[in-house]
Structure 1
């Protein structure tokens, strides 16, 4: 590679769920624009995991990675929210990032630094070297619109969002109740709120924002974002999605799931998973288990050990307990014995499960990676949001796109077994479930089209490539 070859630096934030879409974005970008090189510079709280290693082993020769020295957890404040911990990890890595960039500049034509939303503090270092700063927004355009609009909302807000009587109106979005907005903004006095506000303000300082969504999925929001572009200070928006993993990295480990699915009727199984970081309370795990059994429908459940208190994000923690020990007595044996269900601990090869002909629905936490994987494979949803921006995603999926059902929660915050049974059965057997399935098929077709040679997402990537090609270091 000579010094004129354009190179993009990508800085993810800690956590596999944020790394994966950035890697997939890089893979798609260089497959369409061969003249670019990409270097990942990865902040971390620990040594690279086997999952991270396997992810980087499967990339093109024009993509490489540098893992920064790990940040000592003892250097971070105790008992801080996961999102704040992630951002502080990046902040503590800035000195190492600066050294790597200094080295790369001597041998490369660095034209842009693309940071994950939670790694946007890296733009401070990019600016020192006159490298153009971009954001990769890993969630919905609706979430992006909220983030960009949030500083204005903060100026006029006199109470917490959950106390608002009227739904919140975000540009281009369907009205949403304040309690369905992201967890970090629910308490104005919290450090999480202040951190989110700082992040939102940083978005306006980027030279461009790449969002993992597409026009046919969120037309009104994306149009509103692009109309604001330049008018009130929004950076240019590049909707390049849906960008997802093409396959799980360890299908052999999930072969039991796939063999079991091979023996089920078409579109008959509900896949149940709350992602890499989602855990339920002990009581909710029991209600969910009994409800799945009560539904009489087939299910495949990747179950995690419950959290003693509430649903939470487990991105940065390790669970050693066997989750099957927390299920109702005899549940696994009964449901497996009568061929109704298969329960696997912690993990299933999600992409392969969703693409399997026997899968007819997905009970999901509404994380954006899982949402887009469902879209790409045309699988209708049961929306069960837990944390972060997932309630906002659930509102969009249920009320906006109408591709999901959302179970009712009782006054104790639990979805009772009868409600679980009803919503699972409705998705697979009712007329409403059929309408949802057909709607999801339409969106799947649209997703395929936007990724085609002249599709809108492919064109957005070309616009980005042209802009970066024309950039030179000052």
Structure 2
């Protein structure tokens, strides 16, 4: 058991021959960005890195590619069947990803006499690529983009499903006990895993999580002091009875560097950063819900009303209302420019002038979170965003939307103590009064703590 302790670090052995690594993320910018941060770690160790990109999402990585020219990007040809879109299935586009697609890329690197292919690092949703690498004799590692806590739950799920006759949805909010994490309401598991165990997508998802743990090791974007219980559970023989899990390597926090280029002109910074410069320290709540976080127009108006009533400063990233987070036009950049006046309450932007700023679609999140004026963060509880909030030291308002985010909310509020819950997410609608109250609670508390620390009184 000593050789599988979470304290073990992921070391790379240098050889005389130039070594290379292939990284294979699944579709979506939330998968590509952390994989690009992992690529920087390999590059810093002297490795050449090639990242395989799945269409039709290849346009999303252009900003990543521009920021990391040392990574070689290999975009799969358009004749490769793209991942499916589904308004009903949260993870359908991931589970149907063309996993064998990087075979030619792996083969090319494996047969190049000038380099030594050290390994293939796959996203867990690309687990079928394990077979490709096995045929070529290439070592494979899994990169888990979720938390170690979520990984601990997901590795224990297949055994639970094997004993279920009706599906976990029947349990409602009944808490389930998993090694290494707080009690988890059954309703907070990934939606596909709540279906009947014989339902095709449920079986596929369970198989993915099972296969993803069949590699030489699992790299997790976390650090030990944040998730010590979960990491200990993953090295415990009782975690999955009858199965020896691979070594777990903490490679995080993989958070983008927001350090400002001293050569950059002031007017080259994003408008929201210039606006933050004029705000008092720790006074602004930042609302941003990920690349796929969309709300109905009714919910957008309710958020705006809550912010209006709170009287607190805010920076809010608003995306176009959509019937589905998988609206293909959103991914392919085919939507017209968002008309804020059309989706927000009448007069809201004028009333908020000076106190609040609404930004369309995107903001430099890491830079915003690390700005001195930012006091709290309303987030969808995606793991990347949660880590960025932790590293910036801002408390979070948890408004989870899909995938494993409800699970993350449990970890954040009950285990890590870094966030508070926005009531109403269970029904799919958070009222203005809740937004007002939670924003006021967190901003007031953090501002009081900040003033005490600044006065030298301690906490």
Alignment-derived partner of residue 216 in structure 2: 207
**CA distance in structure 2 between the aligned counterparts of 1:223 and 1:240, rounded to whole angstroms:** 16
Is 1:300–1:342's contact at 8 Å kept on the other side of the alignment? yes
Deviation at 1:245, TM superposition (A): 1.3
**CA distance in structure 1 between the aligned counterparts of 2:155 and 2:260, rounded to whole angstroms:** 34
Deviations 1:355-403 (A, max 9, x none): 1100000000011111111111111100000001111111111111111
Report the 3-state secondary structure (helix = DSSP H, G, I; strand = E; otherwise coil) of the residue aligned with 2:21.
strand
Alignment-derived partner of residue 131 in structure 1: 138
Is 2:375–2:395's contact at 8 Å kept on the other side of the alignment? yes
- The range that moved more, 159-168 or 18-27, is 159-168
| Residues 52/253 of structure 1: CA separation in 2 closer, same or farther (3 Å cut) | farther
Does 2:258 align with 1:247? Answer: yes
**CA distance in structure 1 between the aligned counterparts of 2:430 and 2:208, rounded to whole angstroms:** 33
Report the 3-state secondary structure (helix = DSSP H, G, I; strand = E; otherwise coil) of the residue aligned with 1:279.
coil
Deviation at 1:280, TM superposition (A): 1.1
Deviations 1:53-107 (A, max 9, x none): 332243364x42222113566895876735222342323xx2x522222221221
Alignment-derived partner of residue 335 in structure 1: 352
Report the 3-state secondary structure (helix = DSSP H, G, I; strand = E; otherwise coil) of the residue aligned with 1:38.
strand
Match of 2:392 among 348, 355, 377: 377
Does 2:175 align with 1:167? Answer: yes
Does 2:366 align with 1:357? Answer: no
Deviation at 1:354, TM superposition (A): 0.6
**CA distance in structure 2 between the aligned counterparts of 1:294 and 1:179, rounded to whole angstroms:** 32
**CA distance in structure 2 between the aligned counterparts of 1:131 and 1:73, rounded to whole angstroms:** 25
| Residues 55/311 of structure 1: CA separation in 2 closer, same or farther (3 Å cut) | closer
Q: How does 1:231-242 map to 2 (within 5 A)?
A: 232-242=243-253
Is 2:317–2:361's contact at 8 Å kept on the other side of the alignment? yes
Q: Report the count of equivalent residues.
A: 426
Match of 1:14 among 7, 27, 49: 27
Segments of 5+ residues of structure 1 without an aligned counterpart are 439-474
Alignment-derived partner of residue 456 in structure 1: none
Does 2:48 align with 1:37? Answer: yes
Report the 3-state secondary structure (helix = DSSP H, G, I; strand = E; otherwise coil) of the residue aligned with 2:224.
coil
Report the 3-state secondary structure (helix = DSSP H, G, I; strand = E; otherwise coil) of the residue aligned with 1:196.
helix
Q: How does 1:159-308 map to 2 (within 5 A)?
A: 159-164=166-171, 166-188=174-196, 190-228=199-237, 232-247=243-258, 255-308=270-323
Deviation at 1:247, TM superposition (A): 3.2
**CA distance in structure 2 between the aligned counterparts of 1:74 and 1:28, rounded to whole angstroms:** 29
Is 2:97–2:125's contact at 8 Å kept on the other side of the alignment? no
Deviations 1:219-258 (A, max 9, x none): 1000111233997321111111110111399997762101
Segments of 5+ residues of structure 2 without an aligned counterpart are 1-13, 454-459
Is 2:315–2:357's contact at 8 Å kept on the other side of the alignment? yes
Deviations 1:121-173 (A, max 9, x none): 21111111011111100110011112211111111123333432631112101
| Residues 344/379 of structure 1: CA separation in 2 closer, same or farther (3 Å cut) | same
Does 2:322 align with 1:322? Answer: no
The structure carrying a bigger helix percent of its residues is 1
| Residues 66/153 of structure 1: CA separation in 2 closer, same or farther (3 Å cut) | same
Deviations 1:404-431 (A, max 9, x none): 1112118853111011100000001148
Deviations 1:278-313 (A, max 9, x none): 1012221111110011111100001011224x7778
TM-score (norm 2): 0.85
**CA distance in structure 1 between the aligned counterparts of 2:268 and 2:195, rounded to whole angstroms:** 41
**CA distance in structure 2 between the aligned counterparts of 1:76 and 1:248, rounded to whole angstroms:** 37
TM-score (norm 1): 0.82
**CA distance in structure 1 between the aligned counterparts of 2:98 and 2:63, rounded to whole angstroms:** 22
Report the 3-state secondary structure (helix = DSSP H, G, I; strand = E; otherwise coil) of the residue aligned with 1:89.
coil
- The range that moved more, 100-109 or 218-227, is 100-109
Does 2:75 align with 1:26? Answer: no
Alpha carbon RMSD of aligned pairs, Å?
A: 3.0
Alignment-derived partner of residue 109 in structure 1: 116
| Residues 283/57 of structure 1: CA separation in 2 closer, same or farther (3 Å cut) | closer
Is 2:56–2:332's contact at 8 Å kept on the other side of the alignment? no
Report the 3-state secondary structure (helix = DSSP H, G, I; strand = E; otherwise coil) of the residue aligned with 1:143.
helix
| Residues 72/433 of structure 1: CA separation in 2 closer, same or farther (3 Å cut) | farther
